[in-house]
Structure 1
Amino acid sequence: MSTAHQEEIRQFQALMEDVDDTLKHTFKNMHQGYPTETLIRFLKARDWNVQKAHKMLIDCLQWRIQNEIDNILAKPIPIDLYRDIRDSQLVGLSGYSKEGHPVIAVGVGHSTYDKASENYYIQSYIQMNEYRDRVILPSATEKYGKHIGTCLKVLDMTGLKLSALSQIKVCSVSICKVVLRGGHSTTVPLSSQMRGEERLLRGST
C-alpha cells in the first residue's frame, strides 16, 4: 500500500472507531476483512477529504441498516418470479481478467425488465451485488493471492431497441440511486460489435 495519504487514512480509521456497534457490524459485512482498503475507496470517491468520505460511508451504512441489506441474501425472490427476472435481466459472471477482477457481462440489449415490478428488479440487483461482494470478490482475493475489491462490467448493447429504452431508463435510474448509496463497481460500456467483450474474456483465466 502506498505511503501517500497515510494521515487521511489514520484520521478516517479513528473516526470509524467511534461509531456505534450497529454500524460497525454492517461495516464488517461490507469490508469482508479489508477495512483499510474500503476506507481508501471512500476517500478516493471524495478526493481524500476525510469528513466528506466519513459522511458518505456513514450514509451508506445507515442505508444498509434501514434496508436490512445484511440479511438480503436470506430473502429469496419467489422461484417462478426469479426465473422471469433472470430471463429479462441478463447478467452473469463470465470469467476473470488477467489481473483477477471478476468480469460481469450485462446483456443490456436483450434485457427487457418487464416481467416483474421495479422493486423486484432492484432487490435482484442488490442481491447480486451483495453476492459479488461477499462471495465472488473474497474468492477472487483468495485465488489470486491479493486483494480484489472491484469487478469489470461489460455492457453488451447488441439488439437494443428504442422501444425498450423507457423501461430500461426507469430501472436504471432506480438502480443508480442504490449504487450511489451502497454499491460499487467498475463499469466498461462496450458493444459486442466492438469485440470488447471478446477482448476482455480472452484475458480471463
Structure 2
Amino acid sequence: MGMANQEAIKQFQSLMDKVDEPLKNSFKNVHQGFLTETLTRFLKAREWNVAKAHKMLVDCLQWRVQNEIDNILAKPIVPTELYRSVRDTQLVGLSGYSKEGLPVIAVGVGQSTYDKASVHYYVQSHIQMNEYRDRVVLPNATKKWGRRIGTCIKVLDMTGLKLSALNQIKLLTAISTIDALNYPEKTDTYYVVNVPYIFSACWKVVKPLLQERTKKKIQVLQGSGKEELLKIMDVNSLPHFCKQRGSGSSRVVAAANGTTTTTNCYSLDHAFHQQLYNYVKQQAEQEESYSRLLKQGSVHVNFPAPDPEGAMIATRIESELHKLGDSNGFNNSFSRLQVNGM
C-alpha cells in the first residue's frame, strides 16, 4: 500500500474517532475488529477521496442506527412457511467456498420472481444474509483458513431471464443500492453464467456506464461456466445450476449417513439456510422477542436513494427491455412495482 493510501486511511480514522457514540457502536458491527480493512473498503468505493468516503460511511452508520440494522439478525421472518416462500422466490444461497476460502454465493437472477411476499420481506431477508455473511460466515472462514477473508464470490445464474424482469427493476435497484452504499467492496468477483440474449443486449448498454473498478470484477462465462469455475473451486462448491440444467427445483440426494440433503443452495432445506434461520430465531429468543415477532409483520427498512451511476444503469436497463419488447411485438403493458414511491 502506497504512502498516499496510508495517509488517507490515517485521515479517515481520525475523522471516524469524532463521530457520535451510537455511530461508533454500530461501526463495531461493521468492521468486526478489522478497522483498517473496513476503512479501505469505503475509500475504494469513493476512489480514495477521504471526504467522500467519510460521508459514505457516516451515512451508512446513520442508516444502520435509524433502521436498527445491528439488531436485524434477531428478527426472524415468521412463520416458517412464509420464509420458505421468500426462499423459493428470492434465489440466493451459499454453495461452498473457493480454493482460497472465499464464500461462493449463488444467485438465481433469471428465476427469482419476488411474488410470494411483500417487498419489505425480501429486503429484510437480503440484509439478514448480508449481516450473517459479515458477522458469522466471513469470521468463520477467517478462522478456518488462518488468514483474513473479507470478501465473497458471486455466481449469477441468468437461466430463465425474460422481459418480465422489468417488473422487478424497482426492487432490484433498491437492493443493489443498499449493497452499494452500505456493504461496498464485499464481492471479489461476479461470474455470470447461462446467459440468454436478453442479458447480452442489456450488458452491451450497461457495461460502458460502469466504473473500471467494477468492470474488472465482472466475468461473463460461456454456458454454465463449469470449466472456468472449477479452476477456482472444487466440484462440491460449484452451484447446482452449473452442474445440471434447471436451477429452480430443490433436488434431494441421499447422504452417506442415510439422511437426505438438498443440492439446491437456494432451498430452506439446504444446510446454509437452516443454519441462518436457526441463528436468527436463537438471537430472537435470547432477546425474548420471538413470541412478540409472531404477531408482527416485516421489518421496514428505509431504502436509500440510488447514486447517479445506479440510477442511470436502472434507467438504461428499463429502456433496453422496453426496446426488446417492442421488437418482439409485446405491448409493454408491464406492471409497475412501486417501492416507497420509487
CA deviation profile, 1:51-81 (whole Å, cap 9, x unmatched): 1111110001001111100000101111221
Query: Which stretch shifts more, 33-42 or 97-106?
Result: 97-106
Q: Which residue of 2 aligns with 1:89?
A: 90
Residue 67 of structure 1 corresponds to which residue in structure 2? 67
User: Does the C-alpha gap of structure 1 residues 199 and 189 become closer, same or farther in structure 2, counting only changes over 3 Å?
Assistant: closer
Residue ranges of structure 1 left out of the alignment (5+ in a row): none
List alignment gaps of at least 5 residues for structure 2.
Answer: 195-221, 235-342
C-alpha deviations, 1:101-153, integer Å up to 9, x for none? Answer: 11100011221110011111111111110101111111111112221111111
Give the TM-score taking structure 1 as reference length: 0.92
> Could you tell me which residue of structure 1 aligns to residue 37 of structure 2?
37
- SS of aligned partner of 2:57: helix
Aligned to 1:161: 162
Code of the residue aligned with 2:90 in structure 1: it is Q
1:200 corresponds to which of 216, 219, 229: 229
Q: For residues 168-192 of structure 1, what are the alpha-carbon distances to aligned partners after superposition, in whole Å with 9 as ceiling and x for unaligned?
A: 3132012122123312332514123
Kept in 2, the 8 Å contact 1:113–1:167? The answer is no
Matched residues in 1 for 2:133 and 2:225: separation?
Answer: 22
2 CA distance for matches of 1:121 and 1:190? 22
Q: Structure 2: how far apart are the matches of 1:95 and 1:153?
A: 11
Q: CA deviation at 1:161?
A: 2.6
Structure with the larger helix share: 1
Structure 1 residue 201 displacement after superposition: 5.1
- Give how far 1:160 is off: 2.0
Name the CA distance, whole Å, in 1 between partners of 2:141 and 2:114: 30
TM-score by length of 2: 0.56
Q: Which runs of 4+ in 1 moved over 3 A?
A: none
2:190 corresponds to which of 188, 191, 201: 188
Q: Counterpart of 2:110 in 1: which secondary structure?
A: helix
- Please give the alpha-carbon distance, in whole angstroms, between the structure 1 residues aligned to 2:227 and 2:146: 26
Does the residue aligned with 2:149 lie in a helix, a strand or coil? coil
- Structure 1, residues 87-108: CA drift from partner, whole Å, max 9, x if none? 0111110111222211100011
- 1:141 counterpart = 2:170: no
User: Matches of 1:55 and 1:199 in 2, distance apart?
Assistant: 39
Once the two structures are overlaid, the 10-residue window that deviates more, 117-126 or 179-188, is: 179-188
Q: How many matched pairs? A: 203
Q: Distance in 2 between matches of 1:197 and 1:188?
A: 14
Aligned letter for 2:108? G
CA distance in 2, matches of 1:97, 1:168: 30
Answer whether contact 1:113 1:121 (CA < 8 A) is retained.
yes
Aligned to 2:106: 105
SS at 2:105's partner residue? strand
Opposite residue 199 of structure 1, the aligned amino acid is: E
2:166 & 2:47 partners in 1: Cα distance? 34
Q: Residue 77 of structure 1 corresponds to which residue in structure 2?
A: 77
Q: Percent identity?
A: 64
Q: What's the offset of the Cα at 1:84?
A: 0.3
Does the residue aligned with 2:19 lie in a helix, a strand or coil? coil
Contact 1:88–1:112 (Cα < 8 Å) also in 2: yes
